[in-house]
A and B are shown apart, each in its own frame.
Chain A
Amino acid sequence: MLEALSEKLESIFKKLKGKGLLKEEDVELALKEIRLAFLEADVNFKVVRDFVQKIKGKAIGKEVLESLTPGQQVIKIVNEELCELLGKTNSRIQLSSNPPTIIMMVGLHGSGKTTTAAKLARIFKKEGRRPMLVAADLQRPAAIDQLITLGSQIDVPVYYSKELRDPVTLCEESIKKARADARDIIILDTAGRLHIDDSLMSELKRIKERVLPKEVIFVADAMTGQDAVNIAKNFNERIGIDGIILTKMDGDARGGAALSIRAITEKPIKFIGVGEKIDMLEPFYPERIASRILGMGDVLSLIEQAQKSFDQKEAEKLQKAIIDESFTFDDLKDQLKKLRSMGPLESILSMIPGFNKIKNLNVDEKEFIKIEAIINSMTKKERRNYQILNGSRRRRIAMGSGTTAADVNRVIKQYVELKKMLKMFKGKGGLKLPRFLPF
């Protein structure tokens, strides 16, 4: 999702690498590029200015000049500052010591409040809690129906009223109902509103004063431009927010809004929305996003996601296969199968270092079915030793799998590439091999 910025910075740092000592004008040049990259990434220009000033102060001087690898030194400084700006640790949603915990979703129109509310409810339900959703958006046509549909998908009750016209009263009523039903989490889905709409902003304020939510979550679109600062500032100053959820992070927006909103509100980003499906909400890990911005890939996120779907034993088997360099077509088939059960391929692949460099990574699910068919048409011996796959064997496999010889050749080529890549992982001392690498 933030690949574009990563690419940019990578190309800048390539210029810095291997130059030996770093001159002041090199730092200036790099910072000029960083400034431009950040602006193109929609980071607010004031935030960029402060950021560049900070880096400048730290980079020019002995710290960098005396370093053995100046490029790496700058990356380190930029990374540290990015982490600083994004917040140091992952922050969870606070629960009330005296349930129910009331969570209030606020934000502009179309930022993704309703979908996110349902995604949050699903997470709480999975943790064994008893969430309830409240359809407090009485503005948008069919907003109530939308929440009811989502609620039924995750089997979470939705409080709504077709009679009540005042969202403040509705929210108050919903709390009574939740208490009566022993619900321990209440998520209020409020209507989208403009941050400069006085009457609607005071309505939010009234809801907050009446129901005293534990957390007010500001939902923001990751594609937001320079105005992110104004919007977040207004919501924070007028309503008071406790946390941020960034949505639509699965697109190719460079996500500069994350930096801007953090910088202006100093409130933690708690989750990121990474897809339309109801399970696509992930915790926000600042250091991971920062390292992703810097083109280091998001190995940690990948591991975590993989852990959910991977069986420990099988993972060990895979790791052994990688270390022994005995990664066979059968292993590939197993991995692909698991990979597909983990979620959308683009989002998984984008987290692997190196993959974000591949342009136009179009992952077609059908392609994987094809690969599976091709592997299924191989003999056991062929699966273990690709080198015996001569022309006639390849033709037979193509016939057997209903594909073409070109398809078979491509799959074999990809397999060989992958084998090489895995070898590289193994060989790289500095880079820790993720324990559950999905290939």
Chain B
Amino acid sequence: MMGFFERLREGLTKTRKGFVEKVELIFAGRKIDEETLGELEETLITSDVGPGAAAEIIAVIREEADKGKIKDTDDVKELLKKKMVSILGYSQPIVVYGDRPFVILAVGVNGVGKTTTIGKLASRFRSQGLSVLLAAADTFRAAAIEQLEIWAKRADAQFVKHQSGSDPAAVAFDAIVAAQHRGVDVVIVDTAGRLHTKSPLMEELKKVKRVIEKAMPDAPQEILLVVDATTGQNALRQAEMFDRAIGITGITLTKLNGTAKGGIIFAIKKGLNIPVRLIGVGEGIDDLRDFNPEEFVEALFS
């Protein structure tokens, strides 16, 4: 647990530093007035929290300030922390349960890090002693199959593929049938990146899900949307559209080791009530962590 917390903090150091420094700078020796609140709002917006969610958070602080409850920087931080944790809710990691295989369908727009996330996730399940099978259902992008195959080898996972350009639903189907025969614990289906605005591609995704259900009625038990923390307000649209098409059960927030703050998850949680399950804090095979709202916000404010 110690190691985990350290890693998370490490991954979020830049985020935390920038944010806390700013908050402290804003409130250093100043009373809480409209100007300081305006600056705080901008700080939230700069973290991609979004103008709407930022305004709501500011409103709470303004209310408390009017009641005379806020005296100094620490009060502001405590309040911000409380408010932000309450938006994110409680920790909901991925739990492998029920009949095997436990099927995870990974989806998202192009370039968010789906394949990398799957590789890391496979490695984590393997280290928990679970058998894993990866399904190369991104049959569109050049060399996507090869990329996943390399990850399968690294993570010591089984691998099912068809030819490039073949039907992704058929790959998913075969993978699940194979997993059932072999008694595999977890199947992770990699899909091609697709913009949520492309209706034929979203239809294709619906078909993948339908075919998975045909192979195994309870599956997919988890539909994981991978979101790039660098993305701005469009991430909310992505979550909305993918959710509408196939029903998202969890989110993985990647690339949190940069300077992007990933503040859009507040709007996603608030708007769609989809929990963030995992965060990516680096390129290494171990750089995938359970998302924990308290720790996430704590790391922002500590």
Answer yes or no: A251 CB below 8 A from chain B CBs: yes
* Distance A346 CA – B260 CA, assembled complex (angstroms): 31
Do the beta carbons of A226 and B110 come within 8 Å of each other? no
Q: Known A142-B150, A221-B111; judge A251-B232 contact (CB<8 A).
A: no
For chain A, what secondary structure do more than half of its interface residues adopt (helix, strand, loop), or is it mixed? loop
Q: Known A141-B146, A141-B150; judge A248-B195 contact (CB<8 A).
A: yes
Answer yes or no: B128 CB below 8 A from chain A CBs: no
Contacts of B46 in A (CB 8 A): 44-45, 226
Do the beta carbons of B147 and A140 come within 8 Å of each other? yes
Do the beta carbons of A40 and B50 come within 8 Å of each other? yes
- Which of B20-28, B196-204, B205-213, B289-297 sits within the interface? B196-204
Do the beta carbons of B258 and A108 come within 8 Å of each other? yes
B 36-53 contacts with A by CB, 8 A: 42, 45-48, 50-52
Answer yes or no: A10 CB below 8 A from chain B CBs: no
A354 to chain B, nearest CB (A): 19
Do the beta carbons of A257 and B142 come within 8 Å of each other? no
Do the beta carbons of A251 and B147 come within 8 Å of each other? no
Contacts of B239 in A (CB 8 A): none
Do the beta carbons of A110 and B258 come within 8 Å of each other? no
Do the beta carbons of B45 and A45 come within 8 Å of each other? yes
Answer yes or no: A250 CB below 8 A from chain B CBs: yes
B 129-150 contacts with A by CB, 8 A: 140-144, 146-147, 149-150
Do the beta carbons of B228 and A110 come within 8 Å of each other? yes
A 116-143 contacts with B by CB, 8 A: 139-143
B 228-277 contacts with A by CB, 8 A: 228, 230-235, 237, 255, 257-261, 264
Contacts of A265 in B (CB 8 A): none
Max chain B CB contacts within 10 Å: which of A40, A227, A231?
A227
Answer yes or no: A105 CB below 8 A from chain B CBs: no
Answer yes or no: B168 CB below 8 A from chain A CBs: no
Answer yes or no: A299 CB below 8 A from chain B CBs: no
- A114, closest chain B residue (CB): B142
B 178-204 contacts with A by CB, 8 A: 195-200
* Distance A163 CA – B56 CA, assembled complex (angstroms): 55
Do the beta carbons of A253 and B199 come within 8 Å of each other? no
Chain A residues near B (Cβ < 8 Å) = 36, 39-42, 44-45, 108-112, 139-150, 153, 194-196, 221, 223-228, 230-231, 248, 250-254, 256-257, 276, 346, 362-365
11 examples of A-B residue contacts, CB within 8 angstroms: A45-B42, A112-B110, A112-B111, A141-B146, A142-B146, A142-B150, A149-B164, A221-B111, A225-B48, A227-B48, A256-B232
Q: Given A150-B142, A231-B258, 14 more contacts at CB 8 Å?
A: A39-B45, A39-B51, A42-B233, A45-B45, A109-B255, A142-B146, A195-B259, A221-B231, A225-B232, A227-B259, A227-B261, A250-B198, A251-B195, A252-B196
